[in-house]
Amino acid sequence: MSQSPAERLLHQAQFFKSAQTVEQCPPDEGFEVAFAGRSNAGKSSAINRLTGQRSLARTSKTPGRTQLINFFELDPQRRLVDLPGYGYAKVDKVTRAHWQHHLDDYLARRQCLSGLVLLMDIRHPLKEFDRLILDWSARAKMPVHLLLTKADKLKYGAAKTALLAVRKELTGHPAPLSAQLFSATAGTGSEDAWALLGEWLAIPDAPQN
């Protein structure tokens, strides 16, 4: 099966740079889509699956290793952004507060950010960090797409039930929301995710809603 324009471009992703603060980020122009999630949500695995690469985003058996804002360039005007993970990171409170400050700063100030992908383990959705991100997105009117990861860990019927439960709980939420099942291991949901990323990144010939 031929690749879509979005899939082709995403498969060209290359590591561009890491930043500790907003001031260290690339110029605020073009289109960016950021990936956020708790440290056990499978964020790096999802980025690797969607870009067709095994180790573009670093994966680790120790959650919380991603402590910087990491930028992956698709072309000179389009980037994916891997935001620091939270939840299980075994770091001191000062370091965690530092991460939180710069994450908030990035989300509030980055004008080229066109959408946020929030990853949640399908077995443990809508934890405190997830709700904080959703509340921020509502205030900023930032579109959010929920990837319910590790869908392969549940039978199909149970996974669909979990997706419907999340959608029902978020009915009426002021943030512009969408949600889908996803498995980095099996590839489930990749086509839907590529289509949405193509729209947010304004990839030529990608479907536009």
* Domain extents in the chain: 5-200
Work out the average pLDDT over 82-109: 75
The amino acid occupying position 129 is F
Query: Strand runs (DSSP E) across the chain, as ranges?
Result: 14-19, 31-37, 69-75, 78-82, 113-121, 144-149, 177-181
pLDDT band at 59 (very low <50, low <70, confident <90, very high): low
d(CA 120, CA 131): 11
pLDDT for the residue numbered 89: 52
Judge contact between 173 and 206, C-beta under 8 A. no
Residue 114 contacts residue 201 (beta carbons within 8 Å): yes
Question: From CA 139, how far away is CA 135, in angstroms rounded?
Answer: 6
For range 17-42, the mean pLDDT: 93
**Longest Cα pair distance anywhere in the chain, in angstroms?**
49
What's the pTM value of the predicted model, to 2 decimals?
0.91
Instruction: Please check the confidence at residue 61 and state whether its pLDDT lies above 60.
Output: no
pLDDT computed for residue 163 by the predictor: 98
Question: What's the rounded mean pLDDT across residues 97-119?
Answer: 88
The class of domain 5-200 in CATH terms is: alpha beta
Q: Would the pLDDT of 64 be above 70?
A: no
Tell me what the pLDDT averaged over the chain comes to: 89
